[in-house]
Chains A and B, each alone.
Chain A
Amino acid sequence: MSTAPVAVQPIPRGTLAGRVGRRALDWVPALVVLVLVFVVWQESIAILHIKKFLAPQPTAIASTFWTNRHELISAGWFTFQEALGGFAIGSGLALVVAMVLARWRGVGRALMPYMIAANAIPIIAFAPIMNAWFDPFSKGSKMAIAAVLCFFPVLVNTLRGLTSVRPQSIELMRSYAAGEVETFRRVRIPTALPFIFTSLKIATVLAMIGAIVGEYFGGAFTALGVLIDSRSTTFQFKEAWAGIGVACAYGIAFYLAVAIVEWLTLRAVPSTGE
């Protein structure tokens, strides 16, 4: 924003090990917090006599997880596949549509308010309908829910990214007699990448939520959401919490996977600075 010559310090360049070490050190506070939380949880259950069945001790949950690990992990994998499929379909479609709308700006600009409004619709209400359309026991029904949940956020953000290029950059490309496709490839898409990745990270979370919530309205018995729900309603809270832990783990892994792809991609394409 400012064009003033602020006195700039040269970027410190340490050895590779130094830089990695600094990053690793950044995680220490998070680890400390994790350990603290577990310890407090473990102890306060005993001390405060909180009903064990509602919030079991971490050690109890851990041992339950270990006993049922095969069932839990495969159930998590089943649900994760639904989320992944929905994520791929929804985001993929959204990226394509966004690129089309960025190409034909008039249509894009006219439709933008409607897409933003569509983003405001609680899609989750359509979960039961998806179950009616597709076989509730198949993965497809949950994939559909996840896909719809992912579609609009990715579309809106990608479109915003593709159209937020500075006019001068476009003019520069025109002066090189670069065609639309070239301009897209060299300017618009790199500019849009930060936006795209932000929305993809959000989409991973939405896809998992979509898959699990969808299962609540009816799903295969091998699915994680159904498992957690049935254990909750039969008051087997240790198993339910173990299931929640597995869902968390898959969710975090999914998010981190996208974050790693983002890091790798954005190293190669320097960000234009949002």
Chain B
Amino acid sequence: MLVLVLAVLWGLWEGYRWLWIHEGWTWPFVVDSTTMPHIHDILRQLFRKPTSGAGGDILLVQLLHAAWFTAKEALVGFALGASFGFLLGVVLSQFRLLQRGLLPYVVASQTVPILAVAPIVVVYLGSLHVAPWFSVAVIASYLTFFPVTINTLRGLQSTDRAALELMRSYAAGRLSVLWKLRIPAALPYIFSALKVSATASIVGAIIGEAPSSIQEGLGGFIVNFNQYYSLNPENLWATNLIAALLGITFFLAIVIAEAIVVRRAPEHVA
């Protein structure tokens, strides 16, 4: 099935390309070897040395190293953001007043363009002698915590009423209800958010590398190849391919974790 989908996508790409060049259409954008390189050219480029940037390994190896570098930043950011998001969600669910006071700002925090704040964060953390990659991780965690907070809160609040009544009949304390009922019941929601956050942490890491002037990660490669795009468009496309694979890998890791942790009746998985 996967092969079929990939083949169809390949066909669409090449077909679109051929048709647009053949007819000379210019809407929505001009199609030529620069804007839409042949897919086989992109794939071939992976096994060549990129002309811009340091020589040495073939592009694929360089990209894999870069991906690993970015992945580490994203992982740390994800762990930080998810933990913070979860704790924040729990706290907000328990204290109504805090929830009303803080929730609007939690939502608003995501409207702050992190790319704009990123340089400030990097400079500030740098003055505290923090390694640049950690600043990137912080930026990644910033994008990660929000979905986890919102979904944790929602999951904790959506506990079945009858189950809560049952706990009341056991004269269970607040903490017991939280730990034994609300949190396990909220796990499907939390994992649904973690899937979104996995991608967000990678996006954050890639974006964060630019203002931090980090060369070794995927973000750095993208910025570099972007400058020389007209000379060698295949480089940028190849980088994007690897970035896409990285995102999907992270996502699949969460899906697998979910299958292990959330032992539910199949129809209950969010």
Contact = CB atoms under 8 A, between A and B. Distances in A.
Direct contact of A and B (CB under 8 A): yes
A9 interface: no
Interface string B173-208: 000000000000000000000010011001100110
Interface in A109-147: 110-111, 114, 116-117, 119-126, 128-129, 131-134, 140, 144
B113 A228 contact: yes
B237 to A, nearest CB: 7
Given A26-B100, A128-B229, 20 more contacts: A6-B165, A29-B98, A33-B102, A117-B248, A119-B199, A121-B244, A121-B248, A122-B199, A122-B203, A125-B218, A125-B244, A128-B236, A129-B236, A212-B116, A216-B210, A228-B116, A232-B119, A247-B111, A248-B111, A255-B111
Contacts, number: 146
Contact of A30 (B104, B111, B233): B104
B162 interface: yes
Interface of A: 1-2, 4, 6, 26-30, 32-34, 51, 54-55, 110-111, 114, 116-117, 119-126, 128-129, 131-134, 140, 144, 205, 208-209, 212-213, 216-217, 225, 228-229, 232-233, 237, 240, 243-244, 247-248, 250-252, 254-255
Interface stretch (B28-36, B45-53, B77-85, B256-264): B28-36
Interface string B222-266: 100110011001001101100110111011000000000000000
Please classify the interface of chain A as helix (H, G, I), strand (E, B), loop, or mixed, using the class held by over half of its residues: helix
17 contacts: A1-B160, A2-B161, A29-B98, A30-B102, A54-B124, A117-B251, A125-B222, A125-B239, A128-B225, A132-B233, A134-B28, A140-B28, A228-B113, A229-B115, A232-B120, A244-B113, A252-B111
A15 B223 CA distance: 59
Please classify the interface of chain B as helix (H, G, I), strand (E, B), loop, or mixed, using the class held by over half of its residues: helix
B171 interface: no
Contacts of A54: 120, 123-124
Contact of A212 (B113, B198, B199): B113
B269 to A, nearest CB: 12
Contacts of A225: 113, 115-116
B229 to A, nearest CB: 5
Given A2-B160, A54-B124, A128-B222, A122 B108 contact: no
A104 B250 CA distance: 30
B198 A133 contact: no
B113 A209 contact: yes
B110 interface: yes
A133 B206 CA distance: 21
A162 to B, nearest CB: 16
Interface of B: 1, 5, 28-29, 34-35, 97-98, 100-105, 107-108, 110-117, 119-120, 123-124, 127, 160-162, 165, 195, 198-199, 202-203, 206-207, 210-211, 218, 222, 225-226, 229-230, 233, 236-237, 239-240, 243-244, 246-248, 250-251
Contacts of A122: 199, 202-203, 206, 243-244, 246-247
Contact of A244 (B1, B116, B239, B246): B116
Nearest to A50: B124
A120 B198 contact: yes
A228 B211 CA distance: 13
Contact of A251 (B101, B111, B127, B210): B111
B38 to A, nearest CB: 15
Contact of A27 (B97, B100, B225, B251): B100
A208 B202 CA distance: 18
B23 to A, nearest CB: 17
Given A122-B202, A208-B111, A213-B113, A132 B229 contact: yes
A30 B244 contact: no
A156 to B, nearest CB: 10
Contacts of A237: 120
B206 A120 contact: no
A119 B233 CA distance: 24
